[in-house]
Copies of this chain bind each other. A is one copy, B any other.
């Protein structure tokens, strides 16, 4: 065995062949440009030495010259552990990876970012996101301050999920929630629903707000009406009787995870879904599984009508946009992708 020997370098090859390091480099990169000539006899000698020694160019040195890494950072805002949110990221990551593979990039998971107050920080002492040529930001919520700083510094990044401008346009690939919600509202109205309610968290994050705004806009467009509620799940459940009394026949539920609980309570109250009242999920729940051992969703009796968030495609296109930014190719840096409707069993015509 040769033991832990030093890496073979171009210099070594050069010594062996009695040529200069430059020559080795030229042979290696097969530079046939006019202006660069290597006698084929010399070339052979060099290639032979390369084959014998098993020389491989040190990618680090190579990158040093090229000033590009072909490394794309992936920053996940929420701490991945210990909650089950790991799988929240998975479809996005799969899309990102697919695209990275095609682009010949490696992905750097920025796991070293310290967790402060339950979330990771991009900017911190010794922040390492600049290790990468550019970054993809992943997470339900984003720190506006950090976003603004990234924009201000001109660091190339793309957010998965729409983000409002912060002192400059934020590149993103998001889901078209307003459009998706509008489609569902239109369907409901067409079925005869006239009084629809929105049940949300009251949160002002883009993903929540877009659904809510989409709902109110759609109401206005269709001529239907109805209240917009904001509160925790328990609170929303508690207000169901009030909605029924109000004559509401269709619920638009911001968080798909709340649907089952609402439906259960409605059944208790004697208003089964969808016979008495329709319930629409504004999205699809992220998959829940524990370390890859899937367990069935809590108690999914009902196949809720709603829409599918194109998570995989969002990840893929985010990479695409980032790549374009890095190559300085022109591209649409703010994209909203259509959500395919999911025709389940929870939206039906209102009782007559």
Contact = CB atoms under 8 A, between A and B. Distances in A.
Contacts of A61: 64
Nearest to A156: B4
Interface string A160-197: 00000001100000000000000000000000000000
Contact of A5 (B4, B69, B100, B154): B154
Contacts of A144: none
B86 A130 contact: no
Name which of A1, A112, A154 has the most chain B CB atoms within 10 A of its CB: A112
B64 A60 contact: yes
- Please give the count of copies of this chain that the complex contains: 2
Contact of A58 (B57, B130, B284): B130
A287 to B, nearest CB: 4
A217 interface: no
A80 interface: yes
B123 A56 contact: yes
Contact of A112 (B101, B167, B291, B294): B101
Contacts of A57: 126
A313 to B, nearest CB: 10
B152 A131 contact: no
Contacts of A87: 292
A341 interface: no
A112 B106 contact: yes
Contacts of A167: 1
A97 to B, nearest CB: 5
Interface string A258-298: 00000000000000000000000000101101011110110
Nearest to A114: B104
18 contacts: A2-B153, A5-B153, A54-B123, A56-B126, A56-B130, A59-B130, A60-B60, A60-B63, A62-B126, A81-B98, A81-B101, A97-B111, A100-B112, A105-B112, A106-B108, A106-B111, A286-B292, A287-B289
Interface of A: 1-5, 7, 54, 56-64, 67, 69-71, 80-81, 86-87, 90-91, 94, 97-98, 100-101, 104-112, 123, 126-131, 149, 152-154, 156, 167-168, 284, 286-287, 289, 291-294, 296-297, 311-312, 328
Given A59-B131, A105-B111, A106-B131, 16 more contacts: A4-B328, A56-B128, A56-B131, A57-B126, A62-B126, A81-B101, A100-B109, A100-B111, A105-B112, A106-B110, A108-B108, A109-B109, A287-B293, A291-B311, A292-B311, A294-B296
